[in-house]
Amino acid sequence: MPKKKVFIDSSVLIRSFIYEESNSSIIVDLIVKGELKGIINSKLVTETLKVLKLLLDKDSVSLAFSLIHSLFEIIPLTKYEDKMKILRNQIKEKDLEHLATLRALEIKFLIAFDRDFDEVNEYITPKKFLQSEGIQAYETEF
């Protein structure tokens, strides 16, 4: 059975590195175990590492960089740039690449903790995703 593909937002990645006991961390653990296939794009990698550099020490950021590059399929802009043209003005510019990536690849889940995605059909919080999979979740949404 093919693994379920999920697009992971930077809000989830960042929280997974900062809060070990979080729903975001459980999501990343499922990717580590190969139970989910994590999909991201290069803009998301840049966003995540930029924030982590402000919050963590250099060694932790290096570890995060290695984990992100080894665990996630990083989709190049060429795979979704046409979809960006179609979706422009339907979402904030900062999230356009993310929406275009998941729509171009027909990914059913955008796991994030970001109200800017509230109107996106594929959007689901880490807690709600885990509950939909029958996995015990923490009380917080992230």
- Taking the C-alpha atoms of residue 132 and residue 118, their distance in angstroms, rounded to an integer, is 18
pLDDT tens digits, residue range 45-103? 999 999 999 999 999 999 999 999 999 999 999 999 999 999 998 888 999 999 999 99
Task: Supply 117's token pair.
Answer: 């995605």
Q: Which band of pLDDT confidence, cut at 50, 70 and 90, is reported for residue 132?
A: very high
pLDDT above 80 for 2: no
Per the DSSP assignment, residues forming a β-bridge with 41 are 75
CATH architecture of 4-130: 3-Layer(aba) Sandwich (3.40)
The pLDDT assigned to 106 comes to 97
The partner residues of 73 in beta bridges, in order of sequence, read 39
pTM across the whole model: 0.92
| pLDDT tops 80 at residue 23 | yes
Give the list of residues 6+ apart from residue 75 with CB closer than 8 angstroms, or none: 39, 40, 41, 42, 101, 104, 105
**pLDDT grade for 3, boundaries at 50, 70 and 90:** confident
Tell me the average pLDDT across 26-48.
96
What are the DSSP calls for 77-111, one per residue? GGGTHHHHHHHTTSS-HHHHHHHHHHHHTT-S-EE
**What does the alpha-carbon distance between residue 44 and residue 33 come to, in Å, rounded to a whole number?**
22
Extents of the domains making up the chain: 4-130
Q: Is the pLDDT of residue 141 over 90?
A: no
